[in-house]
Amino acid sequence: MLIAMLNTLFIATLVGLPSIEVIQLDGQTQSGRLVSLSADQVVVETASGPQTLVTRELFAIRFPEALSDEDLVPIEHPVWVEFIDGSKVQAMGFSVDAGRATVQLNEGDSLLAATRTLRVVRFFKPTSDLSEQWDNIVSGDEIAGDVLVIRKSRTIEDADGIEQESVGLDSLEGILHEINDQYVAFEFDGTRVEVPRYKVEGIVYSHRGSNRQPDPTSRVSLLDGSAWNMKTCELDGEILKGISVGGVRLSLPLSSVAKIDFSIGNLIFLSDLDPDTFEWKSDLHTPKTPSVVSSWYRIRKDQGFYGGPLLLDGHSYEKGLALHSQTRLSYRLTREFKRFAATAGIDDRYRSEGNVTLSISGDGRQLLSANLSGDTQLNIDLDLRGIRRLEIFVDYGDDRVGYGDYLNLCNARLIK
Q: pLDDT > 90: what percent of the chain?
A: 46
Whether residue 23 lies inside any domain: the answer is: no
| 72 within domain boundaries | no
Instruction: Return the number of other C-beta atoms located less than 10 Å from residue 86's C-beta.
Output: 17
Which 3 state secondary structure label does DSSP give 335? Answer: coil
Please tell me whether residues 351 and 214 are part of one structural domain.
no
- Separation CA 136–CA 56 (nearest Å): 37
Same domain, 245 and 311: no
What pTM was estimated for this model as a whole?
Answer: 0.73
**Residue-level pLDDT at 196:** 95
> Is residue 160, in this structure, part of any structural domain at all?
yes
**Alpha-carbon span 260 to 277, nearest angstrom:** 33
Query: What is the chain's length?
Result: 416
Q: Name 231's Cβ contacts closer than 8 Å, sequence gap at least 6.
A: 214, 216, 217, 242, 243, 244, 245, 247
| Contacts within 8 Å (CB) and 24+ apart, 189-195 | 195/148, 195/150
Contact (CB, 8 A) for 177 and 183: no
Q: Which helix (H) or strand (E) holds 59?
A: strand 58-62
Q: How far apart are CA 243 and CA 231, in angstroms?
A: 6
Are residues 312 and 204 both part of a single domain?
Answer: no
Residue 180 lies in a domain: yes
Could you tell me if residue 64 is inside a domain?
A: no
Chain segment 379-403, per-residue pLDDT in tens: 999 999 999 999 999 998 887 777 7
260 belongs to a structural domain: no
Task: Mark whether 241 and 349 lie in a shared domain.
Answer: no
The reported pLDDT for the residue numbered 12 is 37
The total domain count for the chain is 2
The answer to whether residue 3 scores a pLDDT higher than 50 is no
Strands 227-236 and 218-222, bridge-based pairing: antiparallel
Which of 226, 254, 282 terminates a domain? The answer is 254
* Residue 358 predicted with pLDDT over 90: yes
Report residue 67: phi and psi, to 5°: -65, -25
Residue 291 belongs to a domain with what CATH number? 2.60.120.1060
Give the residue from 221, 254, 287 where a domain finishes.
254
Element (H, E) at 130: helix 128-138
With vertex at residue 318, the alpha carbon angle to CA 314 and CA 323, rounded to the nearest 5 degrees, is: 80
- Tens-digit pLDDT profile for residues 14-71: 455 778 999 888 778 889 999 999 888 999 999 888 999 988 888 899 998 765 545 5
Same domain, 189 and 281: no
pLDDT at 207: 80
Whether residues 273 and 220 fall in one domain: no
Query: Do residues 327 and 180 both lie within one domain?
Result: no
Question: On the CB side of 142, how many CA atoms lie within 13 Å of its CA?
Answer: 1
**Judgement on whether residues 116 and 249 belong to the same structural domain of the protein:** yes
Q: Answer for the pair 312, 343: CB distance below 8 angstroms, yes or no.
A: yes
Give yes or no: residues 232 and 355 share one domain: no
Within 10 A of 276 (CB to CB), how many other CB atoms are there? 13
Q: Which residue has the higher pLDDT, 33 or 207?
A: 33
Distance of CA 230 to the CA centre of its chain: 12
Highest averaged pLDDT of the listed ranges 2-16, 110-124, 282-296: 110-124
Among the three residues 204, 227, 254, which one is the final residue of a domain in this structure?
A: 254
Q: Are residues 100 and 209 in the same domain?
A: yes
pLDDT of residue 67: 57
Q: Is residue 285 one of the residues assigned to a domain?
A: yes
CA distances to 4, 112, 162, 179, 398 from 371, in Å: 55, 56, 69, 63, 8
Q: Do residues 110 and 204 share a domain?
A: yes
Q: Which domain holds residue 364?
A: 268-415
Residues 223 and 300 in one domain: no
Burial 311-328 (b: 16+ CB within 10 A, else e): bbeebebbbbbbbbbbbb
